[in-house]
Amino acid sequence: MSRANSRQMKLGAFLMAGGHHIGAWRHPDAVAEAGVDIDHFIGLAQMAEAAKLDMIFVEDAAAIRERNVNIASQAARSTGFEPLSLLAALAVNTSHIGLVATASTTYNDPYGLARTFASIDQLSGGRAGWNLVTSASELEAENFVSSGLRPHAQRYERAEEFAAAATAVWDSVDAGAYVVDGNVYVDPGKLHPVDHRGTHFTAAGLLDSPRSQQGRPVMVQAGASDAGKNLAARTADVVFTAAQTLEEGQEYYADLKARMPSFDREPDDLKILPGVSPIVGRTESEARAKYDALQELIPDEVGVALLASYLSVKDLSQYPLEGPLPEMPQTDGIQSRQQLIIDMGRRENLSIRQLARHFAGARGHWQLIGTPAQIADELEERFYAKAADGFNIMGALFPAGLEDFIILVIPELRRRGLFREEYEGRTLRENLGTRIPARGA
Amino acid sequence: MHIGISITPFGHHPAAWRENGSPDTMDFKHLAAQVKKAEDGALDFAFFADRLGRRPIDDLSPQAVPFEPTTLVAALATVARKIGLIATAATSQHEPYNLARRFASLDTISKGRAGWNLVISPETVAREEEYIDVVSGLWDSWEDDAFVYDKASGRFFVPGKMHVLNHAGAHFKVRGPLNVNRSPQGKPLISQLLTGDTLDIAARSAELIFIGARSPDEARALVADITQRLGRHARMRSDVRILANVVPYIAGTAGEAREIRDRLDALPAAGEKPAGLEVFGSPIGTADRLQDWSETFGIDGFMILPPLVTESTHAFIDGVIPELSKRGMFRNAYMGSTLREHLGLRRPPHPASRSAGASR
Ligand SMILES: Cc1cc2nc3c(=O)[nH]c(=O)nc-3n(C[C@H](O)[C@H](O)[C@H](O)COP(=O)(O)O)c2cc1C
């Protein structure tokens, strides 16, 4: 029975060519060449749209992800589509689903990036979203600047200014500015040229496309540091996060939403979607068997290297695999995920090897292994306990992992009135229920 | 001969929007319909200019396309699956790593039909050359057969077939490798609109060159100049395709065709007329003129700049193309599947395979 007026979950499909499980590409059901097959991605987006999911999401780094070529060559993470061209291709092959991709404020310029997202927003009729990141990896820094990875604080300072400049670009053209009636091409009263001169950028001129059908592209963020959470509280419509336990999720949720009033925003203007990797079986043992089959596919050195990269340490292989994680120094990498890993190891008393194998399933995101009812119970609990406004579903492998969730779990969520039967609208903002921003707001 | 078409919402005449414009004309469907029409005529490619490379960015011109070109081409690649697609991007707008990635990705999405129309600043030639070398080097990050996807042994790619660029030059420092596979065409095609101050860069790097001359004499002179410069960069005339820009006014007779131009010229317009040779004629007369130019200029074909959309585009595809095909001067249907194959250009071998071949 559906409770039409009650709050419902927002669900995203976090796509990844090789699957979220590090060994998934080796699974017999995985499409090994997914990273170069546009029709594979079109198929996934259409599948997610048929299930009425809010959005698909593709992450990004402007570099390969592993310096050690022997390790890199054993995973599917080194190459793939550039996300904005991928979104553009998906935009004209779908009609309702939101299309979200990562782009860095550290290695782009605000005018060019705002313009590119505006273009995707036009192509999709108002369904684009930008996951704003500041890029924490050294391998990315080495593709752009000679001085190495910039410090965390400096990256966020630049990100704040970038977001303001990009917003000004989107706001430079009002709805209805293009008259095109034979006499008047544009109404100059509806144009507001940008003249941004800041510390990091100067941006001038007008957006070269009409105003988005959703006002502006949806802003997504995944900040977990203080600076990151403040940027999210001020600018984001959607926030992604990784939380292992209910308590971690609640703490993050309460913290982020509590920051919003000081930026004149209502807590409901921002949807928090933790990542979750569900491994679904019709029975518990079927689910467990699926998980075990995936765990078979992780070479130890690949798992340990992945863990090391998220801890931002060069090498873990010098420590005994069966021993605990050593003390870790703080770095300029992703501090929150470092902490999550350290906590996970301590809480469950895991050796490096066990921790690495656990982490290899979803890179620190929540993993759920069970029947549709068990998984729905867990999601429902976190949803009502104010740890989540919905979830970013991370298929362990594709298409099977996403398909299982859609076929088995979505109907269960619908039965409980937790997920929509039909899209509310055509734009991403309409479906998320976030406001269409006024110009300059 | 080889024929491409430059796509805009209203047409290349600066007053075209006054005759046929409405806000709907600017949407994707309308542009996609033009590209499909060009594909029906088996044209080599559809081309997308970008005013941001050269113009003040507050110029909302009716001659511009209201989409960022690389994302537009990505979208078009999935709805038109045969024609080549060339997007303009200026070296001043993108970091080389980002640009190399975007175009490699476009080539993968389009299964080998993408081209980068290079826009550079003539004042900074050394930087531009280094930029192009970085992009080209990044496109060689992976050998063609690097990815083996060996599920049983757990080897996704062969480590020795990944090449780290490690570029450190005067203007750029880029480690690499590119995080996109070597693309279906080996490398996306590079094109350039020839201007007086960028001839040497074109002679060094472009594989497809557009001549934006307004008179036959100017066109002949540019072709002669560029042909001569190719030698200085150890390239042969057959390594490149040179196309002259043409603005075709097509009607029952040449006189009626001129009337279309006069009618448009009489309307108030802010922009410049496109840089290209105007031709006025019936379909047969237009084909005669193109045949004559292609035989006497030393060129390989034309880039069509339809002055008025959709009329000029349809008249060209439905009238002139069949006439050229009948004369054996243009294909009836696509023979290959990549942009390089359409243009009869070779697929660049990976440097590693080249040296292996040499040592054998
Ligand atoms: C679901 C999720 C997706 C993310 N995607 C990316 C990404 O695509 N690229 C990236 O550089 N960082 C990504 N991040 C990292 C965040 O942007 C952020 O840097 C991280 O959570 C640490 O927060 P901080 O930047 O405030 O320290 C992601 C994080 C999460 C939780």
* Residue A305 to residue A321: CA distance in whole angstroms: 12
Kindly report the length of chain B.
360
For residue A31, what are the CA distances in angstroms to A291, A294, A338, A401, B89? 18, 14, 31, 12, 33
Question: Residue B357 — pLDDT band, cuts 50, 70, 90?
Answer: very low
Strands A194-197 and A202-205: antiparallel
Q: Is A310 annotated as a binding residue?
A: no
Contacts of A38 in chain B (CB under 8 A): 77-78, 108-109, 111
Flag whether pLDDT at A336 surpasses 90: no
| Mean of the per-residue pLDDT values of chain B | 95
**Atom 25 (ligand 1): residue with closest C-alpha?**
A223
Residue A4 has pLDDT above 60, yes or no: no
User: What's the mean per-residue pLDDT of chain A?
Assistant: 94
* Spatial separation of the C-alpha atoms in residues A295 and A125, rounded to whole Å: 41
- B22 contacts in chain A (CB < 8 Å): 180-181
The shortest C-alpha distance from A437 to chain B (Å) reads: 22
pLDDT band of residue A438 (cuts 50, 70, 90) is confident
- State the smallest CA–CA distance between residue B118 and chain A in angstroms: 16
Q: How confident is the model at residue B356 (pLDDT cuts 50, 70, 90)?
A: low
**pLDDT tens figures, B195-224:** 888 899 999 999 999 999 999 999 999 999
Per-residue CA distances from B172 to A134, A144, A271, A275, B159 (Å): 21, 8, 40, 37, 26
Its ipTM equals 0.97
More confident residue, A124 or B353: A124
Q: pLDDT at position A2, please?
A: 43
pLDDT value at A129 more than 80: yes
Full set of structural domains in chain B with CATH: 2-122+188-346 (3.20.20.30)
Percent of chain A residues topping a pLDDT of 90: 85
Q: Which two tokens stand for residue A100?
A: 């979200």
> Which residues have any ligand 1 atom within 6 Å of their CB?
A 59-61, 102, 131, 133-136, 222-225, 228, 240-242, 275, 334-336, 392
Ligand 1 atom, smallest distance to A58 CA: 8
| A2-432 fold | TIM Barrel (3.20.20)
Mutate to test the interface with B, among A130, A172, A208 (most CBs of B within 10 A): A208
What is the length of chain A? 441
Q: Is the pLDDT of residue A161 over 90?
A: yes
> Rounded to whole angstroms, what are the CA distances from A320 to A301, A326, A351, A364, B201?
12, 10, 9, 21, 56
Cβ A19 vs Cβ A13: under 8 Å: no
- pLDDT of B247-286, one tens digit each? 999 999 999 999 999 999 999 988 889 999 999 999 999 9
